[in-house]
Amino acid sequence: MFLSRQGFSRLLSTNGSSVVRQSIVSSSALIGSHRNLLSTSSSSSRILKESYKNIIVETSPKGGNGKICVIKLNRPKALNALNDDLFSDLVHATKSIDNDENIRCLILMGSTSKAFAAGADISEMKNKTFEQVYKKDMFAEWQEISKLSSTPIIAAISGYCLGGGNELAMMCDIMVCTKNAKFGQPEINLGIIPGAGGTQRLTRIIGKSKSMYMSLTGDFMDANEAYTSGLVAKVYEDYDELIKESIQMANKIASKGPTSLRAAKEAINAADELSLQEGLRLERRLFHSMFATDDQKEGMTAFAEKRPANFK
Ligand code: CAA
């Protein structure tokens, strides 16, 4: 008996040093934990709502293989500015999707070609006081997106991807964009600084000098530079191609083994947090634990039998 996705999550929701100790827990015990998780998951917070006010959730997108989902940020008149209501919709929907074993990849995009998101909602922030934003720990909740551990997320960007929009995209696992995409951290023009990861994640991705340039001048980066800087993995012609190609990419990801996907996501994201030695050790432990999974059995058996793998 091998590990299910949630069972495996129990095994891996630990730092590298305790992975070994955890791994001696029998897989059947972990599968038991999984069932408990599912039985308590009937709470409404774990289930997608019929509809949301500020986002569109497509559970069967055209061209999808039944295992992927698309979320479109949908405040087009405000260029999808991220207000509290939108973000609370987004956190609810993404957590529900992350908790659904049948969804293996998620695409996050804007509902029109003009914007992924033009940042946090300035009109909502304008009159706030220090006490209010500090007590609320403003934007702390946004980090929930980066903590989703099961489902790989593709940020598919067309048009403006600014401030909190860029920070949200960087919380996802893969960024792709159209030729018209514009990336920026223009908070400096508002007399503030990025507050949801722009000084940290962007610096890790594109390096200090370019990150400083963007945050100190507020200038935008185009798609070509975003690609050569490693901010995005692919550049597509236009919004239609972005949707089509992102769905193809999501289908491909969703066809892989769910546990190996999860482990790869965890190991790569850990590279931002750990020293090289800690990261290499975590990678090895995760690699070792793959040998307790259906994914490894099926993947290697399929290779030996010269047939495509059929991951469950
Ligand atoms: N918040 C609230 N509303 C916004 C917005 C934002 N971040 N960005 C755009 N909008 C609104 C505009 O107010 C405008 O609304 P009205 O039609 O009601 O006036 C509508 O969206 C269309 O915007 P523009 O008319 O300005 O469109 P444009 O094509 O001329 O310019 C733009 C587009 C360059 C993106 C410009 O809108 C802009 O500079 N937006 C602000 C970008 C920004 O500063 N983002 C950072 C926000 S702070 C932040 O994100 C902090 C953080 O770290 C989380």
Residues 237, 108, single domain; the answer is yes
pLDDT in tens, 263-285: 999 999 999 999 999 999 999 99
pLDDT at 24: 32
Give the tens place of pLDDT for each residue, 199-249. Answer: 999 999 999 999 999 999 999 999 999 999 999 999 999 999 999 999 999
Query: In terms of domains, do 181 and 299 share one?
Result: no
Q: Is 312 inside a domain boundary? A: no
**Cα-to-centroid distance, 6 and ligand 1 (Å):** 40
Average pLDDT value for residue range 151-170: 98
Q: Is residue 78 in some structural domain? A: yes
Residues 225 and 158 in one domain: yes
* 159 in the same domain as 37: no
| Domain-embedded: residue 311 | no
164 carries an active-site annotation: yes
Q: Which atom of ligand 1 is nearest to the CA of 162?
A: 45
- Looking at the structure, tell me whether residues 31 and 151 fall in a common domain: no
Q: Are 109 and 126 contained in the same domain?
A: yes
Residue 167 annotated to the active site: yes
- Mean of pLDDT over the chain: 89
Whether 139 and 279 share a structural domain: no
Residue 111 maps to a domain: yes
- Flag whether pLDDT at 66 surpasses 90: yes
Does residue 194 have its Cβ closer than 6 Å to ligand 1? yes
| CATH number of the domain residue 105 falls in | 3.90.226.10
- Answer yes or no: do 203 and 96 share one domain: yes
Per-residue pLDDT tens for 280-292? 999 999 999 999 9
- Point out the catalytic residue in the list 164, 165, 197, 257: 164
User: Would you list the DSSP string of the chain?
Assistant: ----HHHHHHHHSS-HHHHHHHHTS-HHHHHHHHHHHHHHTTSGGGS--S--SSEEEESS-TT--SSEEEEEE--GGGTT-B-HHHHHHHHHHHHHHHT-TT--EEEEEESBTTEEE-SB-HHHHTT--HHHHHHHTTTTGGGHHHH--SS-EEEEE-SEEETHHHHHHHHSSEEEEETT-EEE-GGGGGT----SSTTTHHHHHH-HHHHHHHHHH---EEHHHHHHTTS-SEEESSHHHHHHHHHHHHHHHHTS-HHHHHHHHHHHHHTTTS-HHHHHHHHHHHHHHGGGSHHHHHHHHHHHTTS-----
In the reported structure, the alpha carbon of residue 162 is separated from the centroid of ligand 1 by a whole-number distance in angstroms of 9
- For position 34, what pLDDT does the model report? 35
Annotated catalytic residue 266: no
Asked whether residue 309 is assigned to any structural domain, the reply reads no
**Is the domain of 265 the same as that of 243?**
no
Q: Which atom of ligand 1 is nearest to the CA of 114?
A: 29
- Model pLDDT, residue 25: 34
Is residue 9 domain-shared with residue 66, that is, in the same domain? no
16 lines ligand 1 (CB under 6 A): no
Domain that holds residue 183: 50-254
Whether ligand 1 lies within 6 angstroms of the CB of 118 is answered as yes
What is the pTM (predicted TM-score) of this model? 0.89
Residue 37 sits in the same domain as residue 56? no
Residues 212 and 279 in one domain: no
Q: What residue's CA is closest to ligand 1, atom 25?
A: 78
What is the count of structural domains for the chain?
2
On whether residue 171 sits in a domain, the answer given is yes
The predicted-structure confidence for 19-50, as pLDDT tens digits, reads as follows 333 333 333 333 333 333 333 344 455 799 99
CB 110 less than 6 A from any atom of ligand 1: no
Which ligand 1 atom is the nearest neighbour of the CA of 115?
A: 35
Does the residue 210 lie in any domain?
Answer: yes
Question: Does 152 contact ligand 1 (Cβ within 6 A)?
Answer: no
Q: What is the pLDDT of residue 45?
A: 59
Could you tell me if the CB of 191 is within 6 A of ligand 1?
Answer: no
* Residue 310 maps to a domain: no
